[in-house]
Each structure stands twice: as C-alpha cells, then as structure tokens.
C-alpha cells in the first residue's frame, strides 16, 4: 500500500477512535504504534498488505493475519517495531474500518449501524486494558464477524444468523440440526438494562426477518451469563437474572478451566489466587463459589419470537 494511503488511514483513525469512545490515552498509544509501523517501510508493507486486499474486496476475513495465526505477517511487524501483539491485532482491524464503512454504505446500511458495530472494538479494548494492561485486543479472532458483515450490533445486543447443531424442543417446536437461528451476544458495554434488551430483540427481529422464511424466529445464546447458579448468587431483580429468565435452557455446562473468570474479575483464573479483589455482588458470590471448590459454567438458552410474542 502506498504511503499516502497509509497516512489517510492514520488520519481517519485520529477522529474515528474518538467517535467510538476510545479513551484519549488509548487513542494516543494506538496512533503512536501505527506511526512506528508506517515509518518502517518493511513493517508497513507487511502490515498493510492484508488491509489493501480487504479494501479491494479481494478478501472479507482478516483472521488469517492476526498475530497468533501461524504465518501471520504481524509476527514480522512485531520484530521490526516492538509493538505489542494485542495492539497490532486491534490496529489490523482498526485500519480496515474505513473500508468497512464503505461496505456498509454500498449495501445501503446506515452509518449509525456501522458505528454501533465498531463500538464493540471499544469493549474489547477496555477488557484488554483491564486484564493485560495493554491497549489492544486479546480476542481478535472474534472481529471477522463485523468485518465480513455477518454480525450486527442492534441496540444493546449483537446478532448473527447461525445453523443449529443439535436437537431440542423450544416454544412447542422441534428444533433440529441445520435449522437457521439468530445467535445473540452480550457486549460489556454497561449495565444489561432489561428494557434495552427487549428493544434489542425487537430491532434484531425487524432487521433479520426478511432473511427468514418463517415468521417465528429462533433466538439462541450460549453464555456464562446463563449459568444456573446465578439464580442463587444474584437477587431476582438483577439484570443478569432477568436476562436468564428470557430463555429456555436447553443445555447446561460446567467449565473446569473457569475460562470466563476474567469476565468477572478482570484477570485470568489461577488456582493459587489468594486475593480475588471482590467488590461487586457477583464477584463476592463467585469468590465464595470458587473457594468451595466449585466451577464456573454456562448454558445454551433459546426462545422463539415473532416480533410481538415470546415462546420458550
């Protein structure tokens, strides 16, 4: 990619990161890193090659280029610039945002929808800062859903069409492998206000209904937030419990590795941990739970919705 184009992207990001609410300190750290890359001709060539391919429409996915992938060019960029791999990963996607904005425009989708999707980068940025003290992202494998435009941020929640892999009953209907459904995700963008959640289901229904033959759409989520113990840990009026109550639980699971520990304590689980630093009701409840030798877990939940009525 020529230097002029890389500078255009740099200039775009100087305002766009503010628009998606990146803290000023993060904006500065990320722009400094980008400048270091641009100023090193070899690093710049390696870093921007996938962005150029994404811009031209030759590729839709950047996943093969993220740092942890075997032959990622970002490994060479890190050697040349010493920019942290989590910063490189978020930068890779940030540099593709001008091209994604055009893709939204070409599809006749609003700029607001594009900006809502990109606010997810801010959630991942803050999580990375809290857990690793780095302005970047440690979950770059997740971002392609935004950039290949299969996932959309619609109000409080995020949605994409998926195909079911198992059998179960929901809302009086038999669900089978291969059935198309709306998979939903819950970003860490603030409290999970239940009215906003309901509005988001409706917004998603209206957005995706033209892509379904049936009027009643199956909504599914797989999340630690549906962990059945939460009903004992949290008050009935808590947002998490209200959210749980929206779903029929079709499968509960335990996670022997406590892989979602960081989502509660902003650090990875370590069985030698002595100070949990618990402050909130949920943290205190999980500290008790884990100290008793119990594991974290989650569930797959589902409901059927026709834009007006819910069935479980």
Ligand X SMILES: CC(C)(COP(=O)(O)OP(=O)(O)OC[C@H]1O[C@@H](n2cnc3c(N)ncnc32)[C@H](O)[C@@H]1OP(=O)(O)O)[C@@H](O)C(=O)NCCC(=O)NCCS
Residues that bind ligand X (CB under 6 A): 186, 188, 191-192, 223-225, 234, 238-240, 263-264, 280-283
Q: Smallest distance from the beta carbon of 23 to ligand X, in angstroms?
A: 17
Which string of DSSP letters, residue by residue, matches 119-147? HHHHHHHHHHHHHHS-SS-S-GGGTHHHH
Q: Smallest distance from the beta carbon of 118 to ligand X, in angstroms?
A: 17
Residue number with CB closer to ligand X (234 or 273)? 234
The pairing of strands 248-255 and 296-305 is: antiparallel
Instruction: Work out the angle between the directed axes of helices 73-81 and 41-56 (0-180°, nearest 10).
Output: 150
Residue number with CB closer to ligand X (82 or 236)? 236
Residue number with CB closer to ligand X (178 or 190)? 190
Residue number with CB closer to ligand X (189 or 203)? 189
Rg (CA), the chain: 21
Q: Which helix (H) or strand (E) holds 40?
A: none
Q: Which helix (H) or strand (E) holds 48?
A: helix 41-56
Residue number with CB closer to ligand X (9 or 90)? 90
Residue number with CB closer to ligand X (103 or 194)? 194
Q: Smallest distance from the beta carbon of 264 to ligand X, in angstroms?
A: 4
Which string of DSSP letters, residue by residue, matches 279-308? -SHHHHHHHHHHHTT--EEEEEEEEEE-SS
- What is the rounded CA–CA span in Å between residue 264 and residue 64? 30
Of 312, 128, 127, the residue nearest 226 (C-alpha): 312
Residue number with CB closer to ligand X (40 or 283)? 283
- What is the rounded CA–CA span in Å between residue 300 and residue 243? 13
Q: Smallest distance from the beta carbon of 160 to ligand X, in angstroms?
A: 14
Of 140, 141, 152, the residue nearest 182 (C-alpha): 152
Residue number with CB closer to ligand X (36 or 239)? 239
Q: Smallest distance from the beta carbon of 230 to ligand X, in angstroms?
A: 8
- What is the rounded CA–CA span in Å between residue 146 and residue 150? 6
Q: Smallest distance from the beta carbon of 281 to ligand X, in angstroms?
A: 4
Q: Smallest distance from the beta carbon of 117 to ligand X, in angstroms?
A: 16
Whether the Cβ atoms of residue 67 and residue 89 lie closer than 8 Å to each other:
yes
- What is the rounded CA–CA span in Å between residue 290 and residue 296? 8
- What is the rounded CA–CA span in Å between residue 242 and residue 235? 10
Q: Smallest distance from the beta carbon of 68 to ligand X, in angstroms?
A: 20
């Amino acid at each position: 990619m020529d230097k002029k184009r890389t500078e255009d992207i740099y200039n775009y990001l100087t305002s766009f990161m503010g628009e998606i609410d990146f803290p000023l300190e993060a904006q500065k750290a990320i722009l400094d890193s980008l400048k270091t890359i641009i100023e090193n001709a070899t690093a710049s060539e390696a870093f921007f090659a996938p962005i150029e391919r994404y811009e031209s429409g030759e590729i839709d996915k950047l996943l093969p280029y993220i740092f942890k992938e075997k032959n990622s060019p970002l490994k060479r960029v890190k050697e040349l610039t010493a920019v942290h791999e989590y910063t490189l990963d978020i930068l890779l996607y940030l540099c593709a945002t001008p091209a994604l904005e055009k893709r939204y425009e070409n599809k006749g989708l609003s700029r607001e929808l594009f900006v809502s999707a990109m606010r997810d980068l801010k959630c991942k940025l803050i999580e990375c800062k809290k857990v690793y003290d780095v302005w970047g992202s440690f979950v770059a494998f997740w971002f392609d859903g935004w950039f290949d435009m299969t996932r959309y941020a619609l109000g409080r929640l995020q949605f994409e069409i998926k195909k079911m892999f198992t059998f179960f009953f929901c809302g009086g209907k038999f669900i089978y492998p291969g059935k198309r459904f709306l998979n939903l995700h819950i970003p860490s963008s603030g409290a999970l206000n239940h009215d906003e959640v309901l509005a988001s289901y409706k917004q998603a229904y209206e957005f995706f209904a033209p892509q379904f033959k049936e009027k009643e759409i199956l909504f599914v989520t797989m999340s630690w937030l549906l962990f059945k113990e939460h009903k004992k840990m949290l008050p009935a009026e808590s947002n998490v419990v209200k959210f749980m109550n929206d779903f029929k639980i079709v499968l509960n699971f335990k996670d022997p590795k406590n892989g979602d520990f960081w989502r509660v304590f902003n650090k990875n689980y370590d069985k030698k941990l002595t100070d949990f630093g618990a402050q909130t009701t949920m943290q205190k409840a999980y500290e008790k739970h884990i100290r008793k030798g119990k594991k974290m877990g989650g569930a797959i939940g589902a409901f059927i919705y026709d834009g007006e009525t819910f069935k479980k």
